[in-house]
Structure 1
Amino acid sequence: MKSSIRIGTRGSKLALWQAQHVADRLAAAGLTPEIVIITTTGDVVLDRSLDKIGAKGVFTEELEQGLRTGHVDIAVHSAKDVQSSIPADLELLAFLEREQVNDVIVSFDPALDLQRPDLVLGTSSTRRKAMLKRFLPHAVTAEARGNLQTRLRKLEEGQYHGLVLAYAGVHRMEYDSLIRFVLPETQYVPATGQGSIAIECARSLEPDLKAKLRRILDHEATHVCLVAERAFLRTMEGGCSIPSFALATLAPGGTVRLHGGLISLDGQHWLDEQQTAPLAAAETLGVRVAEAVLARGGQQILDDIRQQRQLS
């Protein structure tokens, strides 16, 4: 079994932080990691919103090609960026322990008032835009593509009053001092996988090596939760371009609870479902919650969204 591990990653500071975090874990276990930077479509196409460029695999496709060719052994992703269905020749090997899951609002203004009538908040997330229309209907949302540093530069230039971001990225990049509001996860329910780092590999990777990497990197509780969330997302046939949300947490008695749902683009229609199941049934739980949301009107919301996008 080889000890040298080539780690594929995007080149942003946050992506490199995540890759280095993985590399440090591997090095501590006696392996020799090497970080390989790969540029993805999402890093290049910055003049269109995610829903306009399809979003499926926009941050992962080139990394996955590197896995297929053997250019890299593993790929490191923000788990929320991983598309709902993984190609048959690849697999998600591990999920690192999850960071705090919340969305946050960051600003250079320490006295930022969310009730100001001319409030402009930057975000590239379809889910966040829809939730802001529901919970802060007076706010204007403005597109905010690019890496975290690019978005913060735009914020400093005055293009927005605040940015809506995942706490995990803000914290990992040590911008905690800019956090003005931590949005409650019971209301602003996060995207599938938010706060965790996903490790992907080719199914053909040496079995003993896969087992060792899983032992070093995988966090069991996080893995169970993300199995439920990703089964929900897959059943919804959604991705970054669909305003769905899902958060699984471990519950008493060896169970997992999943809160999943869907919101219309204008924020007017909100459907959610909460159910609990044994840990071993996490995947079934995700499917069941998604099917309940779809049956209660979620399918109509998805159909309406797709029709609107065809017309736009």
Structure 2
Amino acid sequence: MLSTPIRLATRASRLALWQTEHVASLLNQAGLPTEIVPMQTVGDQVLDRSLAKIGAKGVFTEELEESLRRGETHLAIHSAKDVQSTIPPDLELLAFLEREQVNDVVVSFQEDFDISKPGILLGTSSTRRKALLRRFYPLANTAEARGNLQTRLRKLQEGQYDALVLAYAGVHRMGYDTLIRHTLPANKFVPPVGQGSIAVESSRFLDNELKAKIKQALDHAATHRCLLAERAFLRTMEGGCSIPSFALATYDAAGDIRLHGGLISLSGEEYIDFVQTAPPAQAEGLGMAVADYVLSHGGTAILASIREQRGEL
């Protein structure tokens, strides 16, 4: 067991720090002292290219993971949607905090903003959101919007966009609820894997007794089961944040996990989704089954087309 505080690696953005302070408060309540260690990731530093063009996996996590390996920190705190689909064997995802509302939202300083108005310009850095907007709001235009939440809101206020499309969780945690003009339905704008949850990563070699205490203080079992299903889906799809896939696991009335997963082409024209349920104990098998369905019903061809368009073949 540690005689020093648990050191928490985090990105330095206000939202990442809020999430890490929330984790720290839960650990402190459990009698575990903490120290927050902010750092910059590739995704924070390279803002002149889209995430898809940066190309590397773990653009928001790699530096944090390296600090775990070097023993400089004990835990890395991530937005669960930023965590790559496959975790290196020397690391593990120890806990997932209880999930916030999962929806995408449209944020604007225009109080009467109408997303259906032709010709509007929507800012987003998400390949998935761009594709879904092309499908469901074809009269809207999209533009790349990189940077932390405050940077994007400043660009919005300067008039670079009419609105931004963002995750509700971040908007809400930063206190910008009054700027939300539309909440996009999660059954159409299905979120990316993990959206709304905070993931806690550690070295596999961290003391087992300490890991058990951390998990007891932080882990939300129902969220964790849902994330196991979603992450198994993403892993089977072999997709990262630059692939327009989506998956949302929820509990149904019978206590089973319902997984809605799919894939959309960059143009928004091709859309494949599938819904299946399974007992919580079969969460990972459920994720793989939904991904297999999507891949075998046109998903493999869509992924090949996306890679060809990006010059990855």
Moved over 6 A (4+): none
Q: Partner amino acid for 1:94? A: A
Q: Partner amino acid for 2:40? A: T
Q: Which residue of 2 aligns with 1:11?
A: 12
Q: Which residue of 2 aligns with 1:302?
A: 303
CA offsets, 1:161-187, max 9 Å, x none?
A: 000000000000000000000000000
Alignment check: 8 A CA contact 1:55 1:239 kept: no
Q: Which residue of 2 aligns with 1:254?
A: 255
1:277 lines up with 2:310 in the alignment: no
1:229 lines up with 2:230 in the alignment: yes
1:254 shift after superposition? 2.7
Q: Which residue of 1 aligns with 2:240?
A: 239
CA offsets, 1:187-234, max 9 Å, x none?
A: 000000000000000000001111110000000000000000000000
Q: Partner amino acid for 1:2? A: L
Alignment check: 8 A CA contact 1:55 1:241 kept: no
CA offsets, 1:92-119, max 9 Å, x none?
A: 0000000000000000000012222220
1:128 lines up with 2:133 in the alignment: no
**Aligned pairs, how many?**
312
Q: Which moved more, 1:53-62 or 1:11-20?
A: 53-62
CA offsets, 1:109-154, max 9 Å, x none?
A: 0001222222000000000000000000011100000000000000
Q: Supply the distance in 2 between the matched residues of 1:184 and 1:58 (Cα, whole angstroms).
A: 28
1:55 shift after superposition? 4.6
Q: Supply the distance in 2 between the matched residues of 1:56 and 1:106 (Cα, whole angstroms).
A: 28
Q: CA RMSD in A?
A: 1.0
Q: Partner amino acid for 1:34? A: E
Alignment check: 8 A CA contact 1:55 1:240 kept: no
Q: Supply the distance in 2 between the matched residues of 1:128 and 1:85 (Cα, whole angstroms).
A: 23
1:311 shift after superposition? 7.2
**Superposition map of 1:46-85 within 5 A:** 46-85=47-86
Q: Supply the distance in 2 between the matched residues of 1:161 and 1:32 (Cα, whole angstroms).
A: 44
Q: Which residue of 1 aligns with 2:2?
A: 2
Q: Which moved more, 1:115-124 or 1:97-106?
A: 115-124
Structure 1 residues not aligned, in runs of 5+: none
Q: Supply the distance in 2 between the matched residues of 1:144 and 1:200 (Cα, whole angstroms).
A: 28
Q: Which residue of 2 aligns with 1:293?
A: 294
Q: Supply the distance in 2 between the matched residues of 1:113 and 1:55 (Cα, whole angstroms).
A: 36
Q: Partner amino acid for 1:177? A: T
Q: Supply the distance in 2 between the matched residues of 1:100 and 1:311 (Cα, whole angstroms).
A: 35
Identity %: 67
Q: Which residue of 1 aligns with 2:161?
A: 160
Q: Supply the distance in 1 between the matched residues of 2:8 and 2:38 (Cα, whole angstroms).
A: 8
SS in 1 for 2:187: coil
Question: Normalized against structure 1, the TM-score is what?
Answer: 0.99
Q: Which residue of 2 aligns with 1:212?
A: 213
SS in 1 for 2:310: helix
Q: Which moved more, 1:92-101 or 1:54-63?
A: 54-63
Alignment check: 8 A CA contact 1:90 1:202 kept: yes
Question: Normalized against structure 2, the TM-score is what?
Answer: 0.98
Q: Partner amino acid for 2:202? A: C
